[in-house]
Amino acid sequence: MKRILLFLAFAGLVGCSSGDDSDGGNQGKDSFDRQAMLINWADNIIIPAYENYTEKLATLNAQAEVFVTTPDESNLNNVRVAWLEAYRAFQYVGMYEIGKAEELKLHSYSNIYPTQVDGNAVDADGINQNIASGSYDLTALSNIDEQGFPALDYMLHGIAETDTEIVNLYLNGSNYKTYLTDLSVRLKSLADAVLADWKGTYRDNFINNKGNTATSSTNKLVNDFIYHFEKNLRAGKIGIPAGVFSGGTILPEKVEGYYRNDVSKLLLLDAIDAANDFFNGRAFASGVEGASLKSYLEYLNDIQEGNNLALLINVQFSTAKNMADQLSESISAQVQSDNSVALNVYDELQRNVVYFKVDMLSAMSINVDYVDADGD
Amino acid sequence: MNPEENTYFNKYREAAPLAVFRIFFGFLMFLSIVRFMGLGWVDKLYIQPKFFFSYYGFEWVKPIGIYTYLIFVFCGLSALAVAFGFKYRLAIISFFLSFTYIELMDKTTYLNHYYFISLMAFVMIFLPANAYYSIDAKHRGNIAYQKVPAWTIDIVKVLLGIVYFYAGLAKLNSDWLLHALPLKIWLPSKYNIPVIGSFLEQEWVHYAFSWIGAFYDLLIPFLLLFKRTRLFAFALVVIFHVLTRVMFPIGMFPFIMIFSTLIFFSDRWHHRFLSIISKYLKVSKSYFDNGKKLVMSRIPYVRFKLRLLMLFLIIQLLFPFRYLLYPGELFWTEEGFRFSWRVMLMEKAGYANFIITDPNTKKSYHVDNSNFLTPFQEKQMSFQPDFILEFAHFLHDHFEEMGIDNPEVRVECYVALNGRLSQLYIDPTVNLAKEEESFAHKSWLLPFNDEIKGL
């Protein structure tokens, strides 16, 4: 009997205390549907972005074929246009390094820059050696920096001084034609494989893996997203050329589209937009916002009575974009003329890295990748 | 203190509870070690990293490459020997030393319950846990006793009680009680757990869990102590630990606590338990029931041991309060946070961007932490000041080797605590290469922009 009384006293104590202290704001509130977020990501953002990307690559392939059949300046320009369109479309898929894309290393095989033009002590083969020998395996890891958009950039803008000279190289050398075609086909085959997987079984696996473990879809993709934002976008596109990681020594050759030399700002802005759209759950085609990291944070913010983190992040996105708008078309030229503009962009992007890695992961209780030791 | 005259020290109890405790402790430690090795954590946590975070004063304790496995094997075998009561004194000393060595190798992996294991193993060195139902007692009749001084059992209870009670005290703060933090952050993310998942998003559940958790920790030692409430308390222990095991990745700890609390049960219960085991193992339990009493005076160096353990307990009672000697918010500075049974109190995360400056050329370099640290180390480093300082010194040495004379190391570090917006954590103008680790307050920590009231 005493035992029962004690239990009741204990339960009563706990009951009252908790009753007194909760202000009852969210008790009836519906919970956040994480699977809806995964579905929105898969169906409205990722798959449409890949569809768009593969279409752009199909055009690139077609234009490259026309050009190698009939090398002239007009056809060269058409390939260049198609290359830029595909490169821009790539900015919208590069961050989803999950599933087949992760397995095939889609991002690395498509966009390592600077591309390796000539062999060196570390790696004997560059693009020029590949072209000269005519024997190379683009699926080999050793050729990872001799392909993708940066290699195409060199093939379309960098192999000679003038357009006439470039066309002449293609007219006189079948190896140039083959290499250009191979690069273009390789990009498309990678993207096709990833899209086919999403449209096959992967989409369902993705949306049903809705838990909160290290391998669940939300955790993995959020980690991928942050990694992309920090390493590929903030560091790769602006920090490295601005010398942030090299003691202030600017590295103007380490930009996207270096040989074209007037698209690095455009590609940076596209990548910021793509990241911002993903954060807001903005559908690729319609632009309508769905369940997203933003709405998840807003939901958690209501529970946790915290700061409006989603708003802060979006404000920071705008600030970074406004700052990036002030860059010259070529980040290479910008860091050489006035590096402070580039450093400002870096700082604004950096602030969002902190919001993502510290505040957002903390609010969502998402672990940093691969950390699976015990806690206490 | 004169053990012969003091009536408490002349009280005797059956040795069975101590023997059962020894058996469970040994086997669970053995399993923990096997599990740890089986999960590949030796390699991941102690062999792959290029850099290890040391405890102040224990910088000499480092993993020894591939031979680190031997330490684990040694530790596991010692635990097994403890369980069997085989060469017990040697086994428990080996276990204490190897386990503690493992924990000191890298403070990234610090867990309160590992600390608890080290403390318990230390105390067990001085207890006659092999007097009953052990291989030692079987083979060396002169050390076999059916009864032992009561204090040798009570001290285990006191240690367990301290863990619970201090964990409860630590919860008496405004974040835990008035804001249900950090459970309010953690529980909703466990939405995927069957049955209870949907409740975990309800605000009242966050408060209920916080308050029940605090009361549980504060009361459970006392509920276990009294016969009337013992069974109820044990049921709570099981429910509480199973629930936390389901919700959080806390490894073997719940099982260790569940089995440890059995020591609060009566002599009769322990005898019955050993009878059942004896039947299965075909061991003659009656052999150990020799009626002999290990009288205090027969324990070698008993006065020394008692004084040592007394001092140990006083330190245990005072040590968690050392944070009072430091200015600033404990959760923020973490000065006096570890080794104090502060469990599950904070959702804390940080981001540390180190900047190396060459004082001659004034050129600055941003460091990519992942070149030196594993993701786990980077995560732990980025919100704990002593880790940040140690890593800063490592970077100083590294860049000096790379040819920079006297490199300056600064950090741009943001930390978020219990759902508050991240704020700058460390004075970004301070050259950390010039700051030394010590037990004194770290003046380069920036103040916390909020207040957490309570203990």
Residues B427 and B351 in one domain: yes
> Where are the domains positioned within chain A?
33-210, 211-368
CA atoms within 13 A on the CB side of A160: 10
Pair (B294, B155) in one structural domain: yes
How high does pLDDT run on average in chain A? 89
User: Residue B268: inside a domain, yes or no?
Assistant: yes
Residues 287-316 of A with CB under 8 A from B: 300, 303-307, 309, 312
Task: Specify whether B375 is located in the same domain as B236.
Answer: no
Residue B3: predicted pLDDT: 53
Q: Are residues B77 and B158 in the same domain?
A: yes
Nearest beta carbon to residue A245 from set B184, B219, B366: B366
pLDDT (0 to 100) of residue A173: 84
Q: Which residues of A touch B252 (CB under 8 A)?
A: 374
CA-based torsion, B377, B379, B382, B387: positive or negative: negative
For residue A27, pLDDT beyond 80: no
Tell me the DSSP string of B28-59: HHHHHHHHHHHTTHIIIIIIS-S--PPPTT-T
Is B130 in the same domain as B198?
Answer: yes
ipTM of the complex: 0.82
Same domain, B182 and B229: yes
Fold adopted by A33-210: A middle domain of Talin 1 (1.20.1420)
Q: For B298-329, b where at least 16 C-beta lie within 10 A, e where not — what string? A: ebeebeebbeebeebeeebeeebeebeebebb
CB atoms within 10 A of CB A231: 15
Q: Residue A106: is its pLDDT beyond 80? A: yes
Angle, CA of B380, B382 and B383, to the nearest 5°: 85
Say whether A375 and B416 touch across the interface (CB within 8 A): no
B382 is in which domain, residue-wise? 347-434
Rounded Cα distance, A185 and A193, in Å: 12
Cβ neighbours of residue B409 closer than 8 Å, sequence gap 6 or more = B354, B355, B356, B357, B392, B393, B395, B396, B399, B431, B432, B433
Note whether B351 contacts A239, CB cutoff 8 Å.
no
Whether the per-residue pLDDT at A351 is higher than 80: the answer is yes
If one counts the domains in chain B, the total is: 2
B330 inside domain = no
Residues on chain B touching A300 (C-beta within 8 angstroms): 185, 188
Residue B62 lies in a domain: yes
Asked if residue B277 lies in contact with residue B283, where contact means CB atoms within 8 angstroms, the answer is yes
Provide the pLDDT for residue A304. Answer: 65
Residues of chain B where predicted confidence (pLDDT) is lower than 70: 1-6
Q: Mutual orientation of helices B112-124 and B88-105 as an angle, nearest 10°?
A: 150
Rounded to the nearest angstrom, the minimum Cα separation between B361 and chain A is 9
pLDDT of amino acid B264: 97
Could you tell me which of B261, B288, B266, B269 has the C-alpha nearest to residue B24?
Answer: B261
**Can you name the residues that pair with B351 across neighbouring β-strands?**
B414
Residue of B421, B423, B426, B450 best to disrupt the A interface, most CBs of A under 10 A:
B421
Among B229, B344, B414, beta carbon nearest to A358: B414
Cα–Cα distance for residue pair A140/B51, rounded to 1 Å: 32
Return the SS3 of B424: strand
Are residues B13 and B143 located together in one domain of the fold? Answer: yes
Residue A355 with chain B: CB contacts under 8 Å: 422
Q: Are B120 and B25 in contact (CB under 8 A)?
A: yes
Structure tokens at B409: 């190391």
Of B164, B188, B216, B181, nearest to B452 by C-alpha is: B181
Higher pLDDT, A39 or A248: A39
Contact B249 A375 (CB under 8 A): yes
pLDDT surpasses 70 at A25: no
- Asked whether the beta carbons of A298 and A310 are under 8 A apart, the reply is yes
- Same domain for B290 and B380, yes or no, is no
Question: Longest Cα pair distance anywhere in chain B, in angstroms?
Answer: 81
pLDDT digits (tens, 9 = 90+) for A212-241: 777 899 999 999 999 999 999 999 999 999
- The pTM of this model reads 0.87
Q: Is residue B136 part of a domain?
A: yes
pLDDT in tens, A113-124: 999 999 887 777
> Which regions of chain A does DSSP assign to beta strands (E)?
none
- Can you say whether the dihedral through the CA atoms of A313, A315, A317, A323 is positive or negative? negative
Q: Do B223 and B272 fall within a single domain? A: yes
* Residues B352 and B240 reside in one and the same domain: no
- Mean per-residue pLDDT for A173-202? 96
Q: Write out pLDDT tens, residues A313-329.
A: 999 999 999 999 999 99
Q: Are residues B228 and B261 in the same domain?
A: yes
Please give the average per-residue pLDDT across A108-137, as a whole number.
91
pLDDT of residue B2: 57
- Residue B326 phi, psi (nearest 5): -105, 145
| Closest approach of B163 to chain A, Cα-based (Å) | 13
- CB-based contact B351 A358, cutoff 8 Å: yes
> What does the pLDDT look like over B136-148, one tens digit per residue?
999 998 999 999 9
Which of B194, B338, B390 lies closest to A376, judged by CA? B338
B331-365 as b/e: b if 16+ CB within 10 A: bbbbbbbbbbbbbbbbbbbbbbbbbbbbeeeeebb
Q: What is the DSSP letter of B66?
A: G
Do B109 and B256 lie in a common domain?
yes
- Which residue of chain B has the CA closest to A301? B419
Cβ atoms of residues A332 and A264 within 8 Å: yes
Token pair for B362: 């004034």
At residue B251, what is the residue type? G
